[in-house]
A and B are shown apart, each in its own frame.
Chain A
């Protein structure tokens, strides 16, 4: 016995509904430290118009953001700041590593520069380029939207899976000494 469903009613899964809401209103946290930040600003400006993808509301308070865009090199002294801002952002949250420096340290292979932020915080998307064009940033946001739609769950189960993988990776690649939290004290 079929149930009469009116024409303007759609039946879906709760996960997919949540993903659809989340992916279309990403609020970026612009962690812009270098020339990538200029491209990030250009992406948010009228010519490239990030509003078409629902991600135009840049907020400088991490508590209002769910997408961290790390644009530019991160020096050693800045890393605790980056980690603190990441921890201050609410779940669910995602991270884009924009440009060669944020992803790998770029040409700055020196004692003062972090060789890829993914060694210290989780990263969802990497954008190559020095600096990347706004089109590349837009493409990565579109890809991230796809990822959120494909993998997301209401309870954030996908992050638990990612957490298990990342702990393993950190142990294999990068021994840490005196693992102390920067936020606790």
Chain B
């Protein structure tokens, strides 16, 4: 279900006019980085969005007419009012830090770790921002579009076991 007009009206009343679009029944609101925590707190506490479905990211490096490099997406749902809402935050290269949502939704923990692992977005205030999928000694962020599909030789660092070593 798209977000109610009352929800959007509350958001606009509190944070001014936010870029909003709707596509096939899905509402998307673009929020500035410094407003993010306030918007999310309002959505959770007053507008009853009690479920953070997913946190993910898109790299728009080679996307035509893209003005920003990364688009962070928070998919929210309310089990109470049955609304769904997507919050987007647009980020660019030097400053890739956003506030962590772990304080609001506990489930953001691993989701944010995955976004950090794959895209190198840093979540300020995250209790344990480690890699979750790639090995710990991995240095790159493989879902960025400037990372080659075959990698940068990370596989070659493993020791080779021969018959006499085993």
Contact = CB atoms under 8 A, between A and B. Distances in A.
The finding on whether chains A and B are genuine partners in a shared complex, rather than unrelated, reads yes
Interface of A: 76-77, 79-80, 83, 86-87, 89, 91, 93, 109-112, 114-115, 119-122, 159-160, 162-163, 166-167, 170, 174-182
Contacts of B142: 111-112
Given A110-B151, A111-B149, A111-B154, A87 B166 contact: yes
Given A110-B149, A111-B151, A175 B162 contact: no
Contacts of A175: 156
Contact of B162 (A89, A91, A170, A181): A170
Chain A interface SS verdict (over half)? loop
A166 B166 contact: no
A160 B156 CA distance: 25
A86 B155 contact: no
Contacts of A79: 158
Contacts of A114: 155
Contacts of A176: 156-160
Interface residues of B, number: 24
A76 B164 contact: no
A160 B163 contact: yes
A119 B155 CA distance: 10
A119 B157 CA distance: 11
Interface in B122-166: 133-135, 140, 142, 147-152, 154-166
A177 B150 contact: no
Contacts of B161: 83, 86-87, 120-122
Given A79-B158, A176-B156, A177-B156, A111 B150 contact: yes
Nearest to A83: B161
B132 to A, nearest CB: 11
A120 B162 CA distance: 8
Nearest to B166: A87
A180 B158 CA distance: 8
29 contacts: A76-B135, A77-B133, A77-B134, A79-B158, A83-B159, A89-B166, A91-B166, A110-B149, A111-B142, A111-B147, A111-B152, A111-B155, A112-B142, A114-B155, A119-B160, A120-B159, A121-B161, A122-B161, A122-B163, A160-B163, A162-B163, A163-B162, A163-B163, A163-B164, A163-B165, A170-B162, A178-B157, A181-B159, A182-B159
